[in-house]
Structure 1
Amino acid sequence: MLSAADVPLEPFLAQFAQLNIPVAFLVPTQTGYTKSIMDATAPVRELLEDARVHVYEEQLQGPENKKKVDAYFVYPDHLEKTEASLYRPKTKHGDPRIWFSGLKQYCEPYNLLALVVIDGAIYVIDLSNPDIAQSLIDGGYVRNLLTTDDAEESIIERELLRKIQAIHDEGFLPSVTEGDPGVGDTLEHALGISRNNDKNPDYKGIELKTLRAKRNGKIKKETRSTLFSQVPDGGLKYREILGAYGKMQIPRNKDKPRFQLYETFRVAHVNGYGLLLDVDEASDRLYILHQDPETGKQTRVSWWDMSKLRKRLLQKHPRTFWITAESETISGVEHFLYTKILYTKNPNTALLTPLLASGVITVDLAAHITEAGKYRDHGALFKIEKKNLPLLFATPEEFIL
């Protein structure tokens, strides 16, 4: 149906060839436009599969199996977030379909649409819009957005940097939640994004990590930053580890004891629960071991496949803003002033194993059972001190706000 487009395709082919970016083209027909449905053509399916966004062949038919994916409408000077629906109907042999929420407000029937994937999100570019097409051809916003040259800072990074600078300029902001999550929750609230508990980056492909620098005007020891969380692939689960090795303790700032396991795990260092980590390079696994305090005998408790840990690192930190905030209590409420950003990208996953083996990267387990029998865990958190980030990420950039 590309021949039905209201503008010729040929002038844009050279543009995408120069950008060296995978692209697929779609043309919504009048019928599809009216019914809010478009065929996911073979090039579209290949684009999504190669970018590891979606595989239609593995998708079951019916609305209950529909997949939603983050998407953006590209304008001459900004982006508008939307959502893509990927599905196979029960009728017509389950032919693959695609639709974008709000598409009717973005384009008209028979407009030529280009689809590209950036950091797992689908970007829709209406090439029939003269201003959008010109922005692509003349090196404006659209072309900069699609430029893959690492030497050129992307539009999204500059956009996020401007927003955080504006938040800094407002001064100290009251925390929107109590306790440790407040420093991150307050920033995300100011940016207008919801708290992110999934495995994907927070802001248009950029992960946000926040750290407190000061509390009540005093320098606070820098906390370790969480790289990612990951459930062990084998052995005991969190609750089973807690049941086998936990202790009845009274937590800090609490008045009632609870059965808990809150501890850091390191390679070749036994913690207070008799547990430690061990890297087995032959099997490419990371193990949790328990060491008997009397005999010194070590037994394997749980393990991770290192290949999965490397994938998690890439998934979580393709690009990251590590943001430092000063903390001050005003009228009994903690306030934050965001002062510095360390920007990293493209982690060297080959260094994950040696950094674990050397103790630079550690693992925290945090789980407990209350007196009432309520169980809670915070996952297995892989952590690193901010000063050691250059050991994992090449050429970090620092911005003072």
Structure 2
Amino acid sequence: MRVLTEAEQLKIKILTKNQVSLSLIEPTETGLKKSIMDATGSVRSFLKENSIHDYDIQGQGQENKVQIEALIYQDFQVIHSTASLYRPQTKKGDPRIWFSGLTKIANPNDIIAIIFFDDCLHIFNLTRLNIGTLIDSALTNPFKELISAINFEESEIAIELLNKLKLIANSGFVKSVVNSDTGIGRTIELLLGIEMNSSKSPDYKGIELKSFRDSRNNRKGLFGKTPDWKLSKFKSRVEILDAFGYWEKGVFRLYNTIRGTGRNAQGLILKIEDKKDWLVENSDRPEIGDFLVWKLETLRKELLKKHKETFWIKADSKIEDNNEYFHFKEVEHTKNPMIDKFEILVETGAITLDYPIKRMPDGKVIDKGCNFKLKANCLDLLFPPSDIYNLT
């Protein structure tokens, strides 16, 4: 898909402020003539994550075509449409998508937006539709009604969570459930009645919770993702430990932060391979060179999945009688990360990679994963304008 114009980016920011989650697709001249579009990776992920359609399990041929009700928005009117999702018999059965009536609103290389709400796909031309004007219009119109309905439903959960956090904040300092770095996260989950589990899904009814101590000014954890071992020279993180680890206090470990702006003490750096759309970790040792690979498309999808909507919860911390106590005081509410900024933020050092690994004296390897983090105070570089709420 082409790079979005400033006007298109502004429209996405308006929609984001109104709680709208969407996917984008760019019809080509050939696609419009033939009434066919490739279902790109981002579109396939959007459909799958919203439990609309899964191309991975769809058979090839017209007999396996799936059709879904759709509405196309054009200023003050709506066109009834049908979305066709299928995999042709030819070639590898590459996923296809089409919306009947799309040629009435789209020109080649316009950006078409897809929303799913109330068991229906809602389609509009992001490039040409006057989104701000329609939403702010004093006159009732179908697009304004759609956005208002989405905003109301999404806001209910956020308001519910915000009110619970205010009640917790009004209690003052609360004792941490464990004395460790993870204590702040586990404490807020316990207070909210969230059971501890290993799921990677958002914590509270679709909202991710990220809590942090105000005094530390630490980087903010985004998500963890292992490399693509099939594409990587190294096939496990044990190999990473063996190659770059060091002894400290009788433990062989590698507590490492890797950036795109320069090599660390182990000679490691992150690089973007634009042509392959890869993130690569590289060693300055010639016999090693590039040794880990992540597909950038995979990382973008993980970022969008993890942080579709997030509460970043700030707390004061104090130590009394060897126990830590927290007073939760502020929330920054972000939605819909600008995933196209991911590689830029890696290259400029705003997004970094950590992997804490160590081998204990008994030979057991403890590995806490490959964790992508965002530099403190850089949320506005990755997310559209956010809302900040005082809890006290």
Kept in 1: contact 2:176–2:326 (CA 8 A):
yes
Partner of residue 205, structure 1: 206
Q: Is contact 1:314-1:346 (8 Å) kept? A: yes
Measured in 1, the distance between the counterparts of 2:324 and 2:49 equals 46
Equivalent-residue separation in structure 1 for 2:255 and 2:47 (angstroms)? 41
| Structure (1 or 2) with the larger CA radius of gyration | 1
C-alpha contact (below 8 Å) 2:352/2:375 kept by paired residues: no
Tell me what 1:240 maps to.
239
- Choose the corresponding residue for 2:299, options 293, 309, 314: 309
Does residue 278 of structure 2 align to residue 285 of structure 1? yes
Alignment of 1:397 onto 2:392: no
User: What's the counterpart of residue 178 of structure 1?
Assistant: 179
1:27-75 Cα deviation digits (max 9, x unpaired): xxxxxxxxxxxxxxxxxxxx9868237759949xxxxxxxxxxxxxxxx
Unaligned runs of 5+ in 2: 1-19, 22-45, 59-116, 121-144
Mapping 1:245-394, distance limit 5 Å: 245-250=244-249, 257-292=250-285, 299-394=289-384
Aligned mates of 1:190, 1:363 — CA distance in 2: 30
Q: Aligned with 1:355: secondary structure? A: helix
Q: Is the 8 A contact 1:145 1:154 kept in 2?
A: no
Question: Structure 1 residues 188, 146: CA separation in 2 closer, same or farther (over 3 Å shift)?
Answer: farther
Q: CA deviation at 1:272?
A: 1.5
Confirm whether residue 51 of structure 1 aligns to residue 50 of structure 2. Answer: yes
CA-to-aligned-CA distance 1:309-329 (integer Å, 9 cap, x gap): 000000000000000111111
1:57/1:307 CA distance change after superposition, 3 Å = closer
* Higher RCO (Cα < 8 Å, 6 or more apart): 2
Letter in 1 for 2:240: I
SS of the residue corresponding to residue 216 of structure 2 reads coil
Length-normalised TM-score, structure 2: 0.62
Determine what percentage of the aligned residue pairs are the same residue.
36
Residues 277, 287 of structure 1: 8 Å contact kept: yes
- Counterparts of 2:216 and 2:52, CA distance in 1: 40
Letter in 1 for 2:204: Y
Q: Aligned partner of 1:245: which letter?
A: F
Mark the CA change 1:336 to 1:145 in structure 2 (over 3 Å): closer, same or farther.
farther
Amino acid corresponding to residue 179 of structure 2 in structure 1: E
| Separation in structure 2 between the aligned mates of residue 309 and residue 318 of structure 1, nearest angstrom | 14
Shift of 1:147: 2.4
Structure 2: distance between partners of 1:357 and 1:196 = 33
- CA shift in 2, pair 1:319/1:266, >3 Å: same
Q: Which amino acid aligns with 1:391?
A: L
Change (3 A) 1:393 1:377: same
Q: Where does the alignment leave 5 or more consecutive residues of structure 1 unmatched?
A: 1-19, 22-46, 60-114, 119-142, 214-219, 251-256
Task: Please report the TM-score for the alignment, with normalisation by the length of structure 1.
Answer: 0.60
- Report the equivalent of 1:68: none
**Aligned-pair Cα RMSD in Å:** 3.1
SS at match of 2:345: helix
Query: Which residue identity is paired with 2:294?
Result: W
Cα distance in structure 2, aligned partners of 1:198 and 1:50:
15
User: How far does the alpha carbon of each residue in 1:283-317 deviate from its partner, in whole angstroms, 9 at most, with x for none?
Assistant: 1101111113xxx7870110100000000000000
Q: Is residue 366–residue 379 contact of structure 1 (8 Å, CA) maintained in 2?
A: yes
